[in-house]
C-alpha cells in the first residue's frame, strides 16, 4: 500500500521526536484507541513494554504535550492524543496491518462495520447519452428512460401539463434522440431547457419542460453507508443526540461526499479530526478515490481513536478491488 495522503491535514511541521518519545507516544495512541480512556504514566509503566520509570515516562508525556501531540481532558486525568498527534502518528509511526490475501475477502465486511463504512456512487454527469425512451405510466405521467454509457440507466418521472397519445410520445422521443444522443448528461440537462429545436412543437416543448423541472428537484445523495449499529456502540456516541446528528450528516451526504472525492486517484487519503460540520467533530475519515472521471469513492468514518492501521489496509484493499471489478 502506498503512503496515505492528507488532503485535509493541518500541514504543520512535524516535531523532531527522540526514539524514546516516539515509543511513548505510540503506546499512548494504542492504549487510548483500545480503551477510550486517558493514559497516564503509571498505566504505561505497568504495561511493561517501555523500559522507563513512571517518573521518566511522566517527563516524556509532558514533552509530548508541549509539542502539541497530546492533550489533557481534565487536569487530574491522563493524556489523550490530539488531532495533530493522530495525524503525526498516521503519517510517521503507523505500521499498516497486514491482511493475508485469503483473509481479505472474509474479513473485509466485518472489519469495515466496526466503523461506519461509506461508498460514494459514481457521478453520471459526464456519461454519454446512448439511448432515450418515453414510457407512459398514466394519462399525464411519463417516464423518461436515459441510457448512459455502456450500462448505466437514469429514469426521470415526468408530469405533463396535458395527456399525449402514444404516437405523439414516440414522435417526441425521436426528436429528443436526434437532438440529444451522443451528448453528456450535463449537456442533455442544459439542452432540455435551452435548445430552440425542442420548443418548436408543443408536444416536444411540454415534455422538455417537464424533464427540466424533474431534473431541478432535489435527489437523494449517492452516498451509501453501513455499520450504524457498530458505530452506535462506540463510547463516543453514548449520547443519542450526538449519534443522531452524525447520522443526519451521513444521510444528507454533505460534506462527506465532497471530502471523499478530494484526493489522489487510486490512493488512500486520511483526514484526521474533521471540522467541516459540528456533528463530525472528533471524527476521522479514511477514503479511497477510485481512478477515472466518475469521482466514486469508498471509505471509513470513525472516532479519532480508530484503528488506523486496519482502516487504511481495509479501505485500500476495497478500493483496489472495486477498481479492478469496474475495469473488467
Asked whether the beta carbons of 274 and 262 are under 8 A apart, the reply is: no
Say what the pLDDT of residue 97 is: 59
Residues 144-162: tens digit of each pLDDT: 888 877 666 777 788 889 9
Residues 168-209: tens digit of each pLDDT: 999 999 999 999 999 988 888 888 888 888 878 899 999 999
**Could you please report the per-residue DSSP string of 133-160?**
EEEESSSSEEEEEEEETTTEEEEEEEE-
Residue 109 binned pLDDT confidence (cut-offs 50, 70, 90): very low
* Positions of E strands within the chain: 70-72, 79-81, 116-120, 129-136, 141-148, 152-159, 223-226, 268-271, 283-289, 297-303
Asked whether the beta carbons of 294 and 323 are under 8 A apart, the reply is: no
Say what the pLDDT of residue 59 is: 94
Residue 101 binned pLDDT confidence (cut-offs 50, 70, 90): very low
Residues 219-242: tens digit of each pLDDT: 555 677 777 777 878 888 877 678
Q: Where in the chain is the domain with CATH 3.30.450.40?
A: 101-123+222-326
Residue 105 binned pLDDT confidence (cut-offs 50, 70, 90): very low
Residues 89-98: tens digit of each pLDDT: 988 888 665 5
Asked whether the beta carbons of 287 and 316 are under 8 A apart, the reply is: no
Residues of the chain with pLDDT > 70, as a percent, come to 84
> Which pTM does this prediction carry?
0.65
Grid cell at residue 29: 495512541
| Cα pseudo-dihedral 8, 12, 14, 15, rounded to 10 | -140
Q: Write the DSSP symbol of residue 221.
A: -
Residue 124 binned pLDDT confidence (cut-offs 50, 70, 90): low
Say what the pLDDT of residue 221 is: 53
Grid cell at residue 100: 493475508
Residue 217 has pLDDT above 70, yes or no: no
Say what the pLDDT of residue 3 is: 64
Which class does domain 101-123+222-326 fall in?
A: alpha beta
Say what the pLDDT of residue 116 is: 80
Residues 97, 177: Cα–Cα separation, whole Å: 52
Backbone angles phi, psi at 40, to 5 degrees: -110, 175
> What is the arithmetic mean of pLDDT over 57-82?
90
Considering only the C-alpha atoms of the chain, give the largest distance between any 2 of them, rounded to a whole number of Å: 88
Which class does domain 129-216 fall in?
A: alpha beta
Q: Write the DSSP symbol of residue 304.
A: T
Q: Where in the chain is the domain with CATH 1.10.10.10?
A: 19-93
Say what the pLDDT of residue 267 is: 93
Residue 2 binned pLDDT confidence (cut-offs 50, 70, 90): low
Q: Where in the chain is the domain with CATH 3.30.390?
A: 129-216
Which class does domain 19-93 fall in?
A: mainly alpha
Amino acid at each position: 500500500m502506498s503512503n496515505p495522503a492528507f488532503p485535509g491535514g493541518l500541514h504543520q511541521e512535524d516535531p523532531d521526536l527522540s526514539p524514546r518519545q516516539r515509543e511513548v507516544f505510540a503506546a499512548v495512541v494504542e492504549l487510548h484507541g483500545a480503551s477510550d480512556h486517558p493514559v497516564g504514566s503509571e498505566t504505561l509503566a505497568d504495561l511493561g513494554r517501555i523500559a522507563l520509570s513512571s517518573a521518566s515516562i511522566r517527563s516524556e508525556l509532558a514533552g509530548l504535550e508541549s509539542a502539541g501531540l497530546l492533550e489533557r481532558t481534565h487536569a487530574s486525568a491522563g493524556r489523550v492524543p490530539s488531532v495533530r498527534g493522530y495525524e503525526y502518528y498516521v503519517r510517521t509511526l503507523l505500521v499498516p496491518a497486514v491482511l493475508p490475501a485469503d483473509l481479505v475477502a472474509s474479513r473485509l465486511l466485518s472489519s469495515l462495520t466496526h466503523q461506519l463504512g461509506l461508498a460514494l456512487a459514481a457521478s453520471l454527469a459526464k456519461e454519454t447519452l446512448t439511448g432515450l425512451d418515453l414510457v407512459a405510466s398514466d394519462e399525464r405521467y411519463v417516464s423518461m428512460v436515459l441510457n448512459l454509457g455502456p450500462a448505466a440507466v437514469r429514469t426521470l418521472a415526468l408530469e405533463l401539463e396535458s395527456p399525449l397519445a402514444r404516437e405523439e410520445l414516440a414522435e417526441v422521443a425521436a426528436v429528443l434522440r436526434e437532438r440529444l444522443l451522443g451528448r453528456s448528461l450535463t449537456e442533455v440537462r442544459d439542452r432540455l431547457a435551452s435548445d430552440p429545436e425542442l420548443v418548436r412543437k408543443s408536444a416536444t416543448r411540454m415534455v422538455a419542460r417537464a424533464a427540466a423541472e424533474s431534473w431541478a428537484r432535489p435527489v437523494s445523495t449517492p452516498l451509501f453507508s453501513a455499520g450504524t449499529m457498530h458505530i452506535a456502540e462506540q463510547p463516543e456516541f453514548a449520547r443519542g443526540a450526538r449519534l443522531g446528528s452524525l447520522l443526519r450528516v451521513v444521510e444528507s451526504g454533505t460534506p462527506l461526499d465532497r471530502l471523499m472525492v478530494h484526493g489522489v486517484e487510486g490512493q488512500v487519503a486520511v483526514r484526521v479530526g474533521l471540522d467541516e460540520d459540528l456533528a463530525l467533530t472528533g471524527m476521522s475519515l479514511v477514503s479511497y478515490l477510485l481512478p477515472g472521471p466518475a469521482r466514486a469513492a469508498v471509505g471509513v468514518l470513525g472516532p479519532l481513536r480508530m484503528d488506523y492501521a486496519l482502516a487504511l489496509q481495509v479501505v485500500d484493499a476495497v478500493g483496489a478491488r472495486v477498481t479492478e471489478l469496474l475495469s473488467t
